[in-house]
Structure 1
Amino acid sequence: MAGKWKSACFTLFCSLLMAQGVRAENCRLSVSQPRIDYGVIRREALVESASVALGTRTLHLNVACAQPSVMALRFIGAADGQGFRFDRQGRMRMHLRHAQVDGRAVEWEVAHLPGETVSGQLLPGQVLVARAGGQTVLGQRLTAQVDVDIDLPSDALQVRSQTRLEGQGTFELVSPAVPLSR
């Protein structure tokens, strides 16, 4: 029986959908890759442990606005505690890194916790607002690197045939007029 499990392979496919109808009416949001594909992963290539980390994948997020706007982002996806659900059993975590508004480095704060900066991790139900020098930033162009990490419990890899696992979600630019709880 162990021989059957060792030769089994599965496909991991993570789909991040980019927002088409952005909330801030004068802005456009785009990501460098609307899909991240981990391809076919063979069981024998993995180390035996309770969970499997699939490695960080990086996307680039861009927002371009016709008029200066507040840069506030959220990721909408199936929630799983401190991250987003990947398939039925896994977890997807995302961090915004190296963010700039109009070429100026910014940090992030949670919209409902003014003055408290955070690491840039996107969490379910949270809106992150760009800040610099202790103030909310208005700008026309936001650029940021998005690091995506996926963890799966090792029993998710116990499959008999090729299996597709996926996670989905949407980045959204939030204007001040949009309610924060959705």
Structure 2
Amino acid sequence: MAAKWRSAGVVLFCALLMAQGVRAENCRLSVSQPRLDYGVIRREAVVQSTSVALGTRTLHLNVVCTQPSMIALRFIGAADGQGFRFDRQGRMRLSLKHAQVDGRAVEWGVAHLPGETVSGALLPGQVLVARAAGQALVGQRLTAQVDVDIDLPSDALQVRDETRLEGRGTFELVSPAAPPSR
């Protein structure tokens, strides 16, 4: 079977691993898929360019609290400038979309920048706080869509044998006063 793969081109297995469930005080965080599998990429199928976008994958994030709470999140993974590293050469970007707390639309703010609204992009060392009208929201249930985008330099596909590329990270519930992680 390995000879069959070699004759068909390079095979890459790309996966992103995330935490399935995390607890913080009285809240529980879960994601719909703890593992995103980008499947097999054959070198012949890739258009010649300097980078390869693996396409957006979507998962759903839920936070359920037993008591009304302020909800703040961060993503912890290997930092790469304005994103997270995917394997040794790639970049992973995560963005929170369509978020609601107890059915109310959420705008995101950075914990250490009160009053400033941001897009929902999860950046290294940054804690995002769920807000509405500039104020931190207190609620028991947060739902959000997480869009994950992976970019690889095209030379990452220049391998001789089947190769697995992976990115790892976890979502974390934090107190809005928590310091950024390093």
Q: Distance in 2 between matches of 1:21 and 1:61?
A: 11
Question: In 1, are the aligned partners of 2:111 and 2:177 still within 8 Å (CA)?
Answer: no
Q: How much has 1:17 moved relative to structure 2?
A: 1.8
Q: How much has 1:25 moved relative to structure 2?
A: 1.3
Q: Distance in 1 between matches of 2:97 and 2:22?
A: 24
Match of 1:85 in 2: 85
Give the 3-state SS of the residue equivalent to 1:167 in structure 2.
Answer: strand
Q: Distance in 2 between matches of 1:41 and 1:7?
A: 11
Match of 2:130 in 1: 130
TM-score of the superposed pair, with normalisation by structure 1: 0.92
Show structure 1 runs of 4+ deviating over 3 A: 176-182
Q: How much has 1:19 moved relative to structure 2?
A: 5.5
- Count of aligned pairs: 177
Q: What are the Cα deviations for residues 83-132 of structure 1, in whole angstroms up to 9, with x where unaligned?
A: 00000000000000000000000100111111110110000000000100
**Residues 1:56 and 2:53 are matched in the alignment:** no
Match of 1:113 in 2: 113
Question: In 2, are the aligned partners of 1:9 and 1:41 still within 8 Å (CA)?
Answer: yes
Alignment of 1:24-173 (within 5 A): 24-173=24-173
TM-score of the superposed pair, with normalisation by structure 2: 0.92
Q: Distance in 2 between matches of 1:181 and 1:45?
A: 39
Letter of the 1:26 partner, please give it: N
Letter of the 2:82 partner, please give it: Q
Give the 3-state SS of the residue equivalent to 1:93 in structure 2.
Answer: strand
Q: Distance in 2 between matches of 1:44 and 1:97?
A: 34
Q: Distance in 2 between matches of 1:172 and 1:121?
A: 15
Check 1:57–1:94 CA distance in 2 against 1; reply closer, same or farther (3 A cut): same
**Residues 1:18 and 2:50 are matched in the alignment:** no
Q: Distance in 2 between matches of 1:14 and 1:125?
A: 23
Letter of the 1:57 partner, please give it: R
Runs of 5+ unmatched residues, structure 2? 1-5
Q: Distance in 1 between matches of 2:19 and 2:59?
A: 11
Question: In 1, are the aligned partners of 2:12 and 2:157 still within 8 Å (CA)?
Answer: no
- Would you tell me which structure has more strand in proportion to its own residues? 2
Letter of the 2:169 partner, please give it: G
* Identity level (%): 78
Give the 3-state SS of the residue equivalent to 2:79 in structure 1.
Answer: coil
Q: Distance in 1 between matches of 2:176 and 2:117?
A: 18
Q: How much has 1:180 moved relative to structure 2?
A: 3.2
Question: In 1, are the aligned partners of 2:116 and 2:134 still within 8 Å (CA)?
Answer: no
Over the aligned positions, Cα root-mean-square deviation in angstroms equals 1.6
Q: Distance in 2 between matches of 1:176 and 1:150?
A: 28
Letter of the 1:12 partner, please give it: F
Runs of 5+ unmatched residues, structure 1? none
